Amino acid sequence: MTFTLPELPYAYDALAPYMSKETLEFHHDKHHKAYVDTGNKLLEGTGLEGKSVEEIVKASYGNNQPLFNNAGQHFNHLHFWQWMKPNGGGAIPGTLAKKIDEDLGGAEKFKADFIQAGIGQFGSGWAWLAVKDGKLAIMKTPNGENPLVHGAKPILGCDVWEHSYYIDYRNRRPDYLKAFLENLVNWEHVEKMYAEATA
Ligand code: ZN
């Protein structure tokens, strides 16, 4: 199988109260698993079996919408679990903080704009911090899309599909986005992806 469901890198109850055990059980065990299972079925006979997830996302975009939806969501969720940790949030690490100051007008403006991107994504989708042409950019995408198909490399993403927050926040998407930034983000992982994206 080309796509495999990873274990969560923490216990199901480790992100509470900002993201509950029930949300993670549904989100990881049902939603992400469905993208993996459906993606593997749709891959059969495409000639893309065995390629990297990134290659499949880019190759299927605009060519095979059902495969793209599932491959894109698999890529997004693989990283989403890593972009969070217990007792996350807090100060942005030095190198990245400096770049956020230069490109995005500082940490507070970045957070406000990232939250606004998540709120402004009509319906299901994602808010992103990405590297594009050597600069940081805030982006938003619908459904399973991500910055990879828009010539950029994602280094942080927040899932704003209702399956990610409705159990814990009901319709309060802004409160979920704020809690994600203040209490969940694993900045060390973001910094690592930033270093890889700019290497
Ligand atoms: Zn999701």
Taking the centre of ligand 1 as the mean of its atom positions, its distance from the CA of residue 178, in whole angstroms, is: 17
Residue 130 has pLDDT above 90, yes or no: yes
**Tokens representing residue 108 in the block:** 């507070």
End-to-end CA distance of the chain: 30
Convert the pLDDT of each residue in 162-182 to its tens digit: 999 999 999 999 999 999 999
Domain residue ranges of the chain, discontinuous segments joined by +: 21-82, 94-198
Taking the centre of ligand 1 as the mean of its atom positions, its distance from the CA of residue 144, in whole angstroms, is: 9
* Count of alpha carbons within 13 angstroms of residue 68, beta-carbon side: 15
**Tokens representing residue 22 in the block:** 């029930």
Taking the centre of ligand 1 as the mean of its atom positions, its distance from the CA of residue 34, in whole angstroms, is: 11
Convert the pLDDT of each residue in 65-89 to its tens digit: 999 999 999 999 999 999 999 999 9
The CATH code of the domain at 21-82 is 1.10.287.990
Share of the chain above pLDDT 70, in %: 100
The CATH code of the domain at 94-198 is 3.55.40.20
Taking the centre of ligand 1 as the mean of its atom positions, its distance from the CA of residue 98, in whole angstroms, is: 30
Taking the centre of ligand 1 as the mean of its atom positions, its distance from the CA of residue 102, in whole angstroms, is: 31
Q: At what angle do helices 53-60 and 65-82 cross, to 10 degrees?
A: 140
Q: What is the mean pLDDT of the chain?
A: 97
Taking the centre of ligand 1 as the mean of its atom positions, its distance from the CA of residue 97, in whole angstroms, is: 27
Convert the pLDDT of each residue in 25-71 to its tens digit: 999 999 999 999 999 999 999 999 999 999 999 999 999 999 999 99
Residue 1 has pLDDT above 80, yes or no: no
pTM higher than the cut 0.95: yes
Taking the centre of ligand 1 as the mean of its atom positions, its distance from the CA of residue 12, in whole angstroms, is: 15
Contacts of 132 (CB under 8 A, 6+ apart): 139, 147, 150, 151, 152, 153
Could you identify the residue written with the tokens 């190198």?
Answer: 95
Residue 91 has pLDDT above 90, yes or no: yes
Taking the centre of ligand 1 as the mean of its atom positions, its distance from the CA of residue 177, in whole angstroms, is: 14
Taking the centre of ligand 1 as the mean of its atom positions, its distance from the CA of residue 140, in whole angstroms, is: 15
Taking the centre of ligand 1 as the mean of its atom positions, its distance from the CA of residue 163, in whole angstroms, is: 6
Taking the centre of ligand 1 as the mean of its atom positions, its distance from the CA of residue 161, in whole angstroms, is: 6
